[in-house]
Structure 1
């Protein structure tokens, strides 16, 4: 009886021991397999989301970090705006008063080659997502003159004139004059005359009058129109439009 009892005790004790060991092994394998799938899925989803954002930013809407105060008070340093890349894709062109982002290569900055291609690509990807300041060739300004316009500053009242009509620029930085540098130009077809809203702190078309191109930005260099403010939270919303150019007549056949 004692021997049988001992055998029964061993049999009962071996069952739970084996079960526990098998259960632990099974749990360990399952957890390891689930963890591997989770990491792989996370990496895949992260890459997929990044690729989707880059595609969306490239063709539809791009976040743009405002790096300077040249467009104050309309845009402030650190603002993140959303640039509508479809605004001029279907036959329409930039209009007077539009705030646009453009590539200033050949007009605002000289052609140059970047020696570090990888760094340039990484910076471009970060800036296209609004995570870094834009490259040195990207600018945001307001369209003041389009092809054929005669833009003059300043008239007897100290105002900007477009095609002989005075413009009341309600968007100018408080205390700024339309321009401290006098000019009288005719905008060639297919180009734009660009100016910042903070005229005393903006390097724009006026600063390139004596250079090749005369400060005119080709229309095909426009990246898109700034339609929305995305950051900070207190300023989220659509960019306020201006009616300053509503009364301007188109330029005549003689362009001025």
Structure 2
């Protein structure tokens, strides 16, 4: 009996060590994921419907902190520009410095450097803008439009400004990667309509990796913490079965 008890005790000690390690590693993943997210992302609440249906008023989005030089065509960005009201806004960059952006072609599509761009994210399909325009974007600037083109106040409203409606790259603080709330929002996709233009589209941020780290950490913490109670329950059941066998033989 003592040998059996020693083996059982050994297994118990190994289990406690492993469960402790699981909790420790889980804490690293869990807390590290949140820390990584706090450094890489800034939360932002969408104030208007100008970016519907991509994001809606009141949506809580995660915007990756980036330098304005990293913005690519198609990115949904958070920016602040004094001429636009000096408050954080969210729009989509449809053209960059040196581009000629115009609307509309015979199919109602936006064109960039003469190339028609398919924009499946628009609220009003097949109509990139209710007003026609054509503008060459100054170097170092971005031409920004809302996805709700019928009512969005964007670069089209500022075409008479010195910058011809464009916003400086340095005014951009972040790129929207995902809708955190409501939970049905999901990731904000990179539009492939701009992928064939020089520079292509940007790569997704690390939001998936951060979420995976947090989830993995939570699983390890809960699994490690559950070992003790489950081991005791299993031990009590085994002891009860042993007593029942002794009683039966008696």
Q: Does the 8 Å CA contact 2:107/2:126 hold for their aligned counterparts? A: no
In 1: Cα distance, 2:57 partner to 2:184 partner: 14
RMSD across aligned C-alpha pairs, in angstroms? 2.3
Deviation at 1:175, TM superposition (A): 4.5
Q: Kindly tell me the number of residue pairs found equivalent between the two proteins.
A: 166
Give TM-score, length-normalised by structure 1: 0.60
Give TM-score, length-normalised by structure 2: 0.61
Bigger proportion of residues as helix: 2
Alignment partner of 1:166 is 2:116 = yes
Q: Does the 8 Å CA contact 1:176/1:200 hold for their aligned counterparts? A: no
In 1: Cα distance, 2:47 partner to 2:148 partner: 14
Matches within 5 A, 1:4-15: none
Unpaired segments ≥5 residues, structure 1: 1-51, 110-135, 251-256
Paired residue for 2:11?
Answer: none
Q: Does the 8 Å CA contact 1:62/1:83 hold for their aligned counterparts? A: yes
In 1: Cα distance, 2:183 partner to 2:137 partner: 38
Deviation at 1:176, TM superposition (A): 6.4
Alignment partner of 1:241 is 2:221 = no
Deviation per CA, 1:46-65: give whole Å up to 9, x if none.
xxxxxx99xx86x6321100
In 1: Cα distance, 2:197 partner to 2:105 partner: 15
Paired residue for 1:80?
Answer: 60
Matches within 5 A, 1:1-256: 60-85=40-65, 87-88=66-67, 92-106=69-83, 108-109=84-85, 137-175=87-125, 177-235=127-185, 237-249=186-198
Deviation at 1:213, TM superposition (A): 2.2
Q: Does the 8 Å CA contact 1:163/1:249 hold for their aligned counterparts? A: no
Q: Runs (4+) of structure 1 moved beyond 3 Å?
A: none
Q: Does the 8 Å CA contact 1:73/1:198 hold for their aligned counterparts? A: yes
Q: Does the 8 Å CA contact 1:176/1:198 hold for their aligned counterparts? A: no
In 2: Cα distance, 1:174 partner to 1:224 partner: 26
Bigger radius of gyration: 1
In 2: Cα distance, 1:186 partner to 1:100 partner: 20
In 1: Cα distance, 2:182 partner to 2:77 partner: 20
